[in-house]
Amino acid sequence: MSETATGTFTVGPRADAPARAVPEIGRRLLDKQWSGDLAGQSVVEMLTFMTPVEGSAVYVAIEIVQATLNGKQGRFAFFHAGVSERGSQSLTYRVVPDSGSGELVGLSGELRLEIVEGVHHYSLHYVLPNYTLFSQ
């Protein structure tokens, strides 16, 4: 059964961000604080490339999330890819398959993002199977 989690997050640069290896490729390390139905923190490593054409760029990122999702605790990863082509934007923001741990084992889903007046609002459409873990 599919579920939806909503809320907001804040994002900021980390003090220990790595140096650039290639001048055309930007590399950023970011911290996020999640609130709402997904509550916790995450670390994002992002690569960007800005073209000489205004409004055209791309980014890819991996994000590790440690949080509670509608009462279930665990850890999982997102991957994102954003493309801006002369101002027309598209974004893919998905849970990495089989990245869930703790009570989030088996988590899958896709996040939709809307930025309103500088606030990042998310809507995470997800599936979380009812796995029962047995210890021997």
CB burial of residue 25 (10 Å; 0-12, 13-18, 19+)? exposed
User: β-strands 108-116, 119-127: how paired?
Assistant: antiparallel
| Chain centroid to CA 127 | 16
Cβ atoms of 55 and 40 within 8 Å: the answer is no
Predicted confidence (pLDDT) per residue in 22-32, tens digit: 778 888 899 99
CB 81 within 8 A of CB 91: yes
| pLDDT at 107 > cutoff 90 | yes
Give the global pTM.
0.82
Neighbours of 13 (CB within 10 A): 10
Task: Report the C-alpha gap between 131 and 110 in whole angstroms.
Answer: 20
pLDDT for 18 equals: 65
pLDDT of 67 > 60? The answer is: yes
**What's the pLDDT score for residue 136?**
40
Is pLDDT above 70 for 88? yes
Give me the residue label for tokens 């290639």: 22
Give the tokens for residue 19.
Answer: 């140096």
User: Tokens 């990122």, residue?
Assistant: 61
Binned at pLDDT 50, 70 and 90, residue 62 comes out as very high
Select 2-127's CATH number: 3.90.550.10, 3.40.50.620, 2.60.40.10, 2.40.350.10.
Answer: 2.40.350.10
pLDDT at 21 exceeding the cut of 70: no
Please provide the distance, in angstroms rounded to a whole number, between the alpha carbons at the two ends of the chain: 29
